[in-house]
Structure 1
Amino acid sequence: MASGGNPANKHILHSSIFNKTLRGWQGLNCEITQKNLMYPIFIVDDENAVQPIQSMPGISRFGINRLKDHLSPLVEKGLQSVLLFGVINNVPKDETGSNASTEKNPVLKAVPKLKTWFPSLTVACDVCLCAYTSHGHCGILDKDGYIKNDDSIKRLAEVALAYAKAGADIVAPSDMMDGRIGAIKQSLRDNGLVNRVSVLSYTAKFASNLYGPFRDASKSAPAFGDRKCYQLPSESTGLALRAAARDVEEGADMLMVKPVLIYMDIVKELKNKYPEYPMFVYQVSGEFAMIHHAAKAEAVDLRLVLTEVLSSLRRSGADVIITYFTPQILDWIHGGSKL
């Protein structure tokens, strides 16, 4: 036989996957461990409350006095990071979201306690105005209802600085205003915190129809109009690439795509272009609800489908997955299961 053998031998694939160990070697970059997970938590201004969220079965808002009991078993199972969202019912809202950066913000009360209770837990705070403004938009508006970008990024930088001073490890602006990464970085630098607080940019946040349950959970739906003038159009790859280039130039430490399940092409594009940046993806409330309800209806097996979805996210380039399924996933990992 000629040197090199039969060329057809290269195309025999079954020899690479005939046992479990061999199959595992084909997906080493798809494994899910505790370090690949970030848990989003809603913190409400009623300090003793646990409020189930009807549109997100199994998920609740927690008052500050209920957080430790909720998180302790998760930290014991290896939870490494959380993403905090404030929800206010009793605190006044106004046009500039002034209470986003005051002691009335339940997140600002929670951060120091979390850092005391769980010193090794990395705490990220979502930075936006929508949950604190009377109009429910992510920035400051002019008299005609249009975004005042310069005023908005100044205000967002103030909110980010408040979280940083409270002890947050990461500030995560989700507003999609132009220039907010640079404004936040400058504010952190001016206050001697630029080396102690990371900026996780919601770089490619699309104007999606999958946010409904979240807006119910956070009480942040816009009072009028929509957010299509500042969140990205779902059809656009170019704007996502431009947004990432802008955020990298302004000093973002980490990048995010949101939602993810129907935007994995964007994840792949950005990870290929910026491989040196940790890539976060947010499995948003609508994605959570779809998987949950499909499993509840016994249309799919939750564990099998979720494992497949998580693996696909890792394969597309995601380093960290922000998911409401984190407690369930930690149970599986802690129980010795490999995802």
Structure 2
Amino acid sequence: MFPQTRLRRLRMHPRLRDLVRETRLAPSDFILPLFVRTGSNQRIPIRSMPGQFQLSVDQLPAEIQEIESLGIPAIILFGIPDHKDARGTGAYSDDGIVQQALRTIKETGSQTLLMADVCLCEFTDHGHCGVINESAGRPDVDNDATLPLLVKEAVSVARAGADLIAPSGMMDGMIQALRSGLDEAQLTHVPIMSYAAKYASGFYGPFREAAESAPQFGDRRSYQMDPANGAEALREVALDVAEGADMLMVKPALSYLDVIRRVKDAHPEVPLAAYNVSGEYAMLKAAAANGWIDEQRVTLEILTSIRRAGADMILTYHAKEACRWLNG
């Protein structure tokens, strides 16, 4: 007890603070999302996400070289096709934009881990994550009709060079269908990182501009999770683990730190990712642009809090800047 016990003693020297630090942040913790589009010599700024771009495939080798130089171990690809239709056929075309990107990066000999988001929303003309069924009186995503298309997409991107697939559609039975489909295609070595607890969040707005994937009607609340629910996330996660998920994800991160902690406590044996999403990124950028916050300090504080909550890795648009700051 005080005065014998003084916790400030361990805070008095910067090197001592380093030695007793409980949570550490490193470039190896980050996964950088990239948006790839058709065309050539394209590097289109994303208005709502300063510092982020839509890139054409020919821009990827230089981008990957920079990513590797910073020590970022992995990227996740999102595609913007030149044609969309009701069934999202561009997602599982062997010449689709993500497939082209994967092959181009592999041809460079890069050792960067290539992740491919597996969902139809970027490829459908209606912007939803699956096949639409209107027979119930109101249009909604047909869960079971969507699963075979997601399997086709997963197999296609894996054959094109994806080292890992990350299904984000929140369809029931999705992980079981994908694991079976990959195994039947002799792709048993390809792991699945499930967006196991993905919330129907207002923080996705800038992403929908970046990926050109906003729903043309309704919203995604019939398949993404209610932000008010925590216990339900544990049910979603447990089902995905049972169905064969190799890794888990909570999305978004910042407003769901409690969910990250609960998931990690429930499944400490399964690697856990958290997605520091576009709206979280945009808020910091806007506040920093107005001089309201110290961008470096607040960004690293937020990323550290995500790791402290239990995430083993973080998908973040801050990855490049964070690496430069950490590498000092």
Q: Deviations over 1:246-303 (max 9, x none)?
A: 1000010111011110100000000111111111111111000001111111101111
Structure 1 match to 2:134? 143
Structure 2 match to 1:87? 80
Distance 1:130 1:86 in 2: 10
Are the aligned partners of 1:173 and 1:200 in contact in 2 as well (CA < 8 Å)? Answer: yes
Structure 2 match to 1:97? 88
Are the aligned partners of 1:74 and 1:330 in contact in 2 as well (CA < 8 Å)? Answer: no
AA aligned opposite 1:50? R
Quote the offset at 1:76 in angstroms. 1.5
Distance 2:10 2:153 in 1: 52
Map 1:18-167 to 2 at 5 A.
18-28=12-22, 30-88=23-81, 90-91=82-83, 93-144=84-135, 145-167=139-161
SS of structure 1 residue aligned to 2:192: strand
Quote the offset at 1:11 in angstroms. 4.1
Structure 1 match to 2:264? 271
Q: Deviations over 1:100-154 (max 9, x none)?
A: 1114421100112212324311000000001111111001111241221111111
1:174 and 2:165 matched: no
Choose 16-25 or 229-238, whichever is displaced more. Answer: 16-25
Choose 281-290 or 111-120, whichever is displaced more. Answer: 111-120
Distance 2:62 2:147 in 1: 36
Distance 1:290 1:104 in 2: 36
Q: For the structure 1 residues 205 and 10, does the alpha-carbon distance in structure 2 shift closer, same or farther, using more than 3 Å as the test?
A: farther
Structure 1 match to 2:214? 221
Are the aligned partners of 1:115 and 1:121 in contact in 2 as well (CA < 8 Å)? Answer: no
Are the aligned partners of 2:92 and 2:149 in contact in 1 as well (CA < 8 Å)? Answer: no
Structure 2 match to 1:12? 6
Structure 2 match to 1:307? 300
Distance 1:296 1:194 in 2: 47
Structure 1 match to 2:184? 190
Identity of aligned residues (%): 38
SS of structure 2 residue aligned to 1:289: helix
RMSD between aligned residues: 1.3
Are the aligned partners of 1:45 and 1:105 in contact in 2 as well (CA < 8 Å)? Answer: no
Quote the offset at 1:71 in angstroms. 2.4
AA aligned opposite 2:180? Q
Quote the offset at 1:9 in angstroms. 5.8
Map 1:243-262 to 2 at 5 A.
243-262=236-255
Quote the offset at 1:27 in angstroms. 2.5
SS of structure 2 residue aligned to 1:211: helix
Quote the offset at 1:309 in angstroms. 0.8
In the alignment of these two chains, the number of paired residues is 325
Q: TM-score, normalised by structure 1?
A: 0.93
Q: Deviations over 1:170-217 (max 9, x none)?
A: 10001000011010000111111112x110000110000011110011
Structure 1 match to 2:314? 321
Distance 1:118 1:24 in 2: 37
Quote the offset at 1:333 in angstroms. 3.0
Structure 2 match to 1:201? 194
Distance 1:46 1:308 in 2: 38
Q: Deviations over 1:36-76 (max 9, x none)?
A: 00000000011321111111111100000011122212212
SS of structure 1 residue aligned to 2:176: helix
AA aligned opposite 2:7? L
Are the aligned partners of 2:80 and 2:211 in contact in 1 as well (CA < 8 Å)? Answer: yes
Q: Deviations over 1:2-28 (max 9, x none)?
A: xxxxx4467421122211122223323
Match of 1:283 among 264, 269, 276: 276
Distance 1:141 1:11 in 2: 64
Distance 2:76 2:105 in 1: 12
Quote the offset at 1:325 in angstroms. 1.0
Q: TM-score, normalised by structure 2?
A: 0.96
Distance 2:33 2:125 in 1: 24
Distance 2:102 2:204 in 1: 25
SS of structure 1 residue aligned to 2:36: strand
Distance 1:324 1:36 in 2: 13
Quote the offset at 1:234 in angstroms. 0.2
SS of structure 2 residue aligned to 1:236: coil
Are the aligned partners of 2:252 and 2:276 in contact in 1 as well (CA < 8 Å)? Answer: yes
